[in-house]
Amino acid sequence: RALADEHSSIVVYKRGEKGLIAYVDGETIEMGIYPVKALKPTGAGDAFMGGFVTGLAQGLKPKDSLQRGAASAALVVTRVGCSPANPNEEDLQNFMRSHHINQ
């Protein structure tokens, strides 16, 4: 929280299976994960960041962007490889419609 207050408007603390805590413009957002059977952890962080930043760039609210990042990470860990495992927009939207974040 102190880091966000002093140095940045957005700080995201990812806690693996415990979800995340984000501090966005003075607001605290806690979020669980999409429960999936992971094949490997490789690429989850990069996928999360890509989904999150893309959501912000598209004008989504921070919470929706965080959810998008969580979905991207969940998809990547269920697939073989790293770059080829990254979801496209259709994959991501289908996953978010059919899966729910645990709280």
In a domain, 26, yes or no: yes
Is 90 exceeded by the pLDDT of residue 13?
A: yes
Q: What is the DSSP string of 53-80?
A: HHHHHTT--HHHHHHHHHHHHHHHHTSS
The model's pTM: 0.89
In a domain, 15, yes or no: yes
In a domain, 103, yes or no: no
Average pLDDT over residues 48-73: 96
The reply to whether 64 belongs to the active site is no
CATH code of residue 56:
3.40.1190.20
Q: What is the pLDDT of residues 30-48, one digit of tens each?
A: 999 999 999 998 899 999 9
Is 90 exceeded by the pLDDT of residue 78?
A: yes
The tokens for 8 are: 């940045």
Mean pLDDT of the chain: 91
In the prediction, which pLDDT does 103 show? 76
**Structural domain count, the chain:** 1
Structural domain span for residue 62: 2-98
Alpha-carbon gap, residue 33 to 35, rounded angstroms: 6
In the prediction, which pLDDT does 7 show? 61
Q: Which of 25, 46, 64, 91 does the annotation list as catalytic?
A: 46
In the prediction, which pLDDT does 26 show? 86
